[in-house]
Structure 1
Amino acid sequence: MSEDRVGRRAALWRTAAGQRGYFTAAQAVDAGYSHQAQHYHAQHGNWLVVDRALYRLREFSDLPSEGDEQLVCWSLWSKGRAVVSHATALAAHDLGTANPSRIHLTVPRGFRQKSDAVILHRAELTQSDVEDRMGYRVTTPLRAIAECAAADEDQDVLDGAVSEALERGMVSRRRLLHAAQLLGPRAELGVERALEALS
Structure 2
Amino acid sequence: MLRDRTDTRAALWRVASGQRGYFTSAQALQVGYSYQAQRYHAQRGNWQLVDRGIYRFREFDTLPGGEDDHLVRWALWSRGRAIVSHTTALSVHDLGTANPAEIHLTVPPGFRQKGGLVILHRAELAQDEIEEREGYRVTTPVRAIIECAEASVDQDAVDSAVAEALDRGLTTRRVLLHAAQRLGARAELGTERALQAAQ
Structure 2 length normalisation: TM-score?
0.96
> How far, CA to CA, are the matches of 2:117 and 2:21 in structure 1?
22
Aligned counterpart, 2:90 = 90
Q: Which moved more, 1:177-186 or 1:6-15?
A: 6-15
Counterpart amino acid of residue 129 in structure 2: D
Aligned counterpart, 1:151 = 151
Structure 1 runs not aligned, ≥5 long: none
Aligned length, in residue pairs: 198
Aligned counterpart, 2:100 = 100
Aligned counterpart, 2:33 = 33
Once the two structures are superposed, the pairs formed by residues 1-199 of structure 1 within 5 Å of their partners are 3-199=3-199
| Cα displacement (A) at 1:4 | 2.7
Q: Is the 8 A contact 2:102 2:118 kept in 1?
A: yes
Superimposed CA distance per residue, residues 33-91 of structure 1 (whole angstroms, 9 cap, x where no aligned partner): 11100011112222122222211112222111211111111111101100000111001
> How far, CA to CA, are the matches of 2:143 and 2:149 in structure 1?
10
> How far, CA to CA, are the matches of 2:192 and 2:110 in structure 1?
33
Q: Is the 8 A contact 2:71 2:136 kept in 1?
A: yes
Structure 2 runs not aligned, ≥5 long: none
Counterpart amino acid of residue 67 in structure 2: G
> How far, CA to CA, are the matches of 2:54 and 2:162 in structure 1?
36
> How far, CA to CA, are the matches of 2:56 and 2:101 in structure 1?
25
- Provide the alpha-carbon RMSD of the alignment: 1.2
| 2:4 aligned counterpart, secondary structure | helix
| Cα displacement (A) at 1:3 | 4.6
> How far, CA to CA, are the matches of 2:136 and 2:154 in structure 1?
26
Counterpart amino acid of residue 18 in structure 1: G
> How far, CA to CA, are the matches of 1:39 and 1:116 in structure 2?
25
| Cα displacement (A) at 1:14 | 1.6
User: Moved runs in structure 1, 4+ residues, more than 2 A?
Assistant: none
Counterpart amino acid of residue 4 in structure 2: D
Superimposed CA distance per residue, residues 146-194 of structure 1 (whole angstroms, 9 cap, x where no aligned partner): 1111111110000000000110111111100011011011111101000
> How far, CA to CA, are the matches of 1:7 and 1:127 in structure 2?
36
> How far, CA to CA, are the matches of 1:115 and 1:36 in structure 2?
27
| Cα displacement (A) at 1:31 | 1.3
Structure 1 length normalisation: TM-score?
0.96
| 1:73 aligned counterpart, secondary structure | helix
| 2:197 aligned counterpart, secondary structure | helix
Superimposed CA distance per residue, residues 99-132 of structure 1 (whole angstroms, 9 cap, x where no aligned partner): 2221110001110001121111111111110001
